[in-house]
Amino acid sequence: SAVISQKPSRDICQRGTSLTIQCQVDSQVTMMFWYRQQPGQSLTLIATANQGSEATYESGFVIDKFPISRPNLTFSTLTVSNMSPEDSSIYLCSVARQGDEQYFGPGTRLTVT
Amino acid sequence: QKEVEQNSGPLSVPEGAIASLNCTYSDRGSQSFFWYRQYSGKSPELIMSIYSNGDKEDGRFTAQLNKASQYVSLLIRDSQPSDSATYLCAVRPGYSTLTFGKGTMLLVSP
């Protein structure tokens, strides 16, 4: 497995502002992903963070709203831009090495007021 | 459309019993199957992975896969109150990304 940390663990933000979430892994990983989990719901993949190139976004998610960076093999950021109350959710970073298994960070609980 | 279906529960079992959690998936090209446990307020934790038809055992957990029936299950033997959580089934079709089910809530009563 991998030790994954996320910052911040939680935040309360005003409508219209932006928040950047950081994900740090204790060792190099091939794949990094960003998910959203809304209350009582399952996990929805936002995008795959690609090292050295633009992220690959899933249907319904766009770069202007959720810009992602991945400058190296151990670190990624997700920004939630121009937030609205509908963006209130838990945001999760996930990583995978060469194999299939994916591991999740502790998550960032975001509340937009 | 890739779908992973789970009964939302709650599935209630007494302590010491076997809990059986089920999952069906729609994409016949799926190659990798996972079970995650998620405690309330926590992130998902990987507990089992299975890639071939049949059973795979790890301690009190057994994952069962039947690709012909597009069915994967998780058995928890000697269930404990600490097993009370939501169990997420996840499926990977080929080299695509994981698709998660909505999860089954398990309640183990003392």
Identify the H or E element spanning B38: strand B30-38
The pLDDT confidence band at residue A7, using thresholds 50, 70 and 90, is: very high
Identify the H or E element spanning B35: strand B30-38
Mutant choice from B97, B99, B100, B102 vs A, greatest count of A C-beta within 10 A: B97
| Mean pLDDT to the nearest integer, A74-99 | 93
Mutant choice from A5, A41, A43 vs B, greatest count of B C-beta within 10 A: A43
The pLDDT confidence band at residue B1, using thresholds 50, 70 and 90, is: low
A100 touches chain B (CB under 8 A): yes
Determine the Cα–Cα distance for residues A60 and B20; give it in Å rounded to an integer. Answer: 34
Return the amino acid letter for A3. V
CB contacts < 8 A, A to B, total 41
Question: Please, what is the average pLDDT of chain B?
Answer: 94
A13-55 per-position pLDDT tens digit: 999 999 999 999 999 998 899 999 998 888 999 999 988 888 9
| Mean pLDDT to the nearest integer, A83-106 | 91
B77 touches chain A (CB under 8 A): no
pLDDT reported for residue B32: 93
Note every long-range contact of A40-47, with CB atoms under 8 Å and residues 24 or more positions apart, other chains counting: A41/B102, A42/B88, A42/B100, A42/B101, A42/B102, A42/B103, A43/A92, A43/B44, A43/B88, A43/B100, A45/B97, A45/B98, A46/A78, A46/A91, A47/A78
* Residue (of A94, A83, A75, A113) closest to A37 by Cα position: A94
The fraction of chain A above a pLDDT of 70, given in percent, is: 98
B5-51 per-position pLDDT tens digit: 999 889 999 999 999 999 999 999 898 999 999 999 999 999 999 99
